[in-house]
Amino acid sequence: MNSLQAWRALPAAQKPEWPDAGAVQAAAAQLRTFPPLVFAGECDSLKARLADVAAGRAFFLQGGDCAETFNGVGADALRNKLRTILQMSVILTYAGSMPVVKVGRIAGQYAKPRSKPTEVRDGVELPAYRGDAVNGFPFTPEDRTPDPDRLVRMYHSSAATLNLARAFVVGGEADLRQVHAWNTDFVRDSPVGERYDRMARDIDRAISFMHACGADPAEFHSVDFYASHEALLLDYEEALTRIDSRTGLPYDTSGHFLWIGERTRQLDGAHLEFARHVRNPIGVKLGPTTTPQDALTLIERLDPDREPGRLTFITRMGAGRIRDALPELVEKVTASGASVAWVCDPMHGNTFEAPNGYKTRRFDDVLDEVEGFFEVHRALGTVPGGLHVELTGDEVTECVGGGHALAEADLVHRYETVCDPRLNRAQSLELAFLVAEMLHRA
């Protein structure tokens, strides 16, 4: 067994109960023959940019669906999502006066860890939906049975999405003037737009000034955009791992940036063991029960050489916990001399079930967690490096609050997520303006 397979000897939390191990091996064998989805050199570029994030020279913005679906690989939905991320990044670039590193939860986010292995409806118990890479969302025994052929579909869906995303970000969608024009439309149409009007006009003036000076660099027309997902299904991730011809080192070519989730970051578990051996930049989600010793051990295991940009800690404490739980972690990690990028996921610690049964999040809680994140880092003199958000570019009704004051009774209208609730386009842009105010105060 080589080091890339060492994870196989360790417990893998959240592993689907595949009915046929032989079929998993067959799917993995097929995946091994496919071309890489991303290149090692691109992963290295992202790592260099994450080193800037850790040092406070760039801001990180990671966003996209909770769970991508095979049927959702449509051009319109992807365009709307990319536009939203680009719009947010223009606002944040201006406010922070620094580059924004743009990363999608895109082109690979097809597998979900779940709180419970099964779901019960009207007395019928079936396996929980674990993402389109594992089983189907409809509540039938056929759909809910894990199917390894889905691992191959995951590859093809990721490839189609990434192809389209790459075309969008060089083919006009990323034009700075156009992206900002969409922001001014948002400010004009939002019921709370007045609050953001001044910043939008300032950005307008800055762009006009640069054009008047004759500045029209390539960066105004296309952007670097990276793909990321949770490295949950290790059979898939191992099968997509390739040896980089430049360096002879292994890279997981399923995406540029991979993260280990809160439910699979066990120090002696398979997910950590797999991630140790690939050279991609790696993220780890840290929930409110993470101890400083956990964080230090994660650093030792994942980044023993203290490679700049290698490790990102994505904290998801919950609005009510972050101000108590985060300081000690940041203090002890900083005191150890390690340099990690600190990123705030204000979504996963703030989920609750509304009385009408919809899983939702309050916009105000999301905002409060981000505020807490900035407060903690400001107090310690450390770097609040970025945001990790579940969002869509469509006007869904999944999270409550925001400028349109979405109520729990509205959730029924356009609740389209197959797992966790996402910020819609207006809520995402509003969050960007509010975070911009925090960056501006820095």
Ligand X SMILES: O=C[C@H](O)[C@H](O)COP(=O)(O)O
What is the token pair recorded at 235? Answer: 């059979």
- Is 219 annotated to bind a ligand? Reply is no
Task: Return the number of the residue (11 or 117) whose C-beta is nearest ligand X.
Answer: 117
| H helix and E strand count, the chain | 13, 14
Task: Return the number of the residue (105 or 279) whose C-beta is nearest ligand X.
Answer: 105
Instruction: Report which residue type is found at 218.
Output: A
**Is 111 near ligand X (CB under 6 A)?**
no
Contact partner at residue 435 from ligand PEP, ligand X, none, CB < 5 to 8 Å by partner kind: none
Binding test (CB under 6 A) with ligand X, winner from 9, 22, 33, 115? 115
CB neighbour list of residue 429: distance below 8 Å, 6 or more residues apart: 84, 87, 88, 91, 183, 186, 190
- Nearest-5° angle of CA 268, CA 270, CA 273? 75
Q: Which stretch binds ligand X (CB under 6 A): 108-116, 151-159, 239-247, 426-434?
A: 108-116
**Is 420 near ligand X (CB under 6 A)?**
yes
**Is 113 near ligand X (CB under 6 A)?**
yes
Q: How far apart are CA 370 and CA 431, in angstroms?
A: 9
**Is 430 near ligand X (CB under 6 A)?**
no
Q: Is the Cβ–Cβ distance between 86 and 223 less than 8 Å? A: yes
What is the token pair recorded at 237? Answer: 């991730």
What is the token pair recorded at 373? Answer: 């994140």
Q: How far apart are CA 356 and CA 304, in angstroms?
A: 48
- In whole angstroms, the minimum distance from the beta carbon of 200 to ligand PEP comes to 30
Contact partner at residue 115 from ligand X, ligand PEP, none, CB < 5 to 8 Å by partner kind: ligand X
Q: How far apart are CA 258 and CA 280, in angstroms?
A: 7
Q: Is the Cβ–Cβ distance between 232 and 261 less than 8 Å? A: yes
Residue 289's CB is within 10 A of a number of other CB atoms, namely 10
Task: Return the number of the residue (5 or 351) whose C-beta is nearest ligand PEP.
Answer: 351
**Is 391 near ligand X (CB under 6 A)?**
no
- In whole angstroms, the minimum distance from the beta carbon of 396 to ligand PEP comes to 17
What is the token pair recorded at 246? Answer: 């430049």
Paired residues of 259 in beta bridges: 230, 283
Q: Is the Cβ–Cβ distance between 118 and 141 less than 8 Å? A: no
Residue 180's CB is within 10 A of a number of other CB atoms, namely 20
Binding test (CB under 6 A) with ligand X, winner from 114, 153, 301, 332? 114
Contact partner at residue 83 from ligand PEP, ligand X, none, CB < 5 to 8 Å by partner kind: none
Contact residues for ligand PEP (CB under 6 A)? 66, 113, 230, 261-263, 285, 316, 345, 348
- In whole angstroms, the minimum distance from the beta carbon of 48 to ligand PEP comes to 24
**Is 195 near ligand X (CB under 6 A)?**
no
Q: How far apart are CA 337 and CA 116, in angstroms?
A: 38
Region for residue 45 given its phi and psi (left: phi exceeds 0; alpha: psi -120 to 50; beta: otherwise): alpha
Q: Between the CA atoms of 166, 384, 298 and 40, what dihedral angle is there, to the nearest 10 degrees?
A: 20
Phi, psi dihedrals of residue 145, rounded to the nearest 5°: -75, 125
- Residue showing the smallest CB distance to ligand X in the complex: 115
- Residue showing the smallest CB distance to ligand PEP in the complex: 261
- Is 8 annotated to bind a ligand? Reply is no
- Is 362 annotated to bind a ligand? Reply is no
Contact partner at residue 316 from ligand X, ligand PEP, none, CB < 5 to 8 Å by partner kind: ligand PEP
- Is 235 annotated to bind a ligand? Reply is no
- Is 105 annotated to bind a ligand? Reply is yes
Task: Return the number of the residue (113 or 288) whose C-beta is nearest ligand X.
Answer: 113
- Is 81 annotated to bind a ligand? Reply is no
* Longest CA pairwise span in the chain (Å): 69
**Is 419 near ligand X (CB under 6 A)?**
yes
- Is 307 annotated to bind a ligand? Reply is no
Binding test (CB under 6 A) with ligand X, winner from 66, 333, 432, 438? 66
Contact partner at residue 230 from ligand X, ligand PEP, none, CB < 5 to 8 Å by partner kind: ligand PEP
Residues at the annotated binding site for Mn(2+)? 66, 348, 390, 420
* Residue ranges that bind ligand X, judged by CB under 6 A: 66, 112-115, 348, 419-420
Residues at the annotated binding site? 66, 105, 262-263, 285, 316, 348, 390, 420
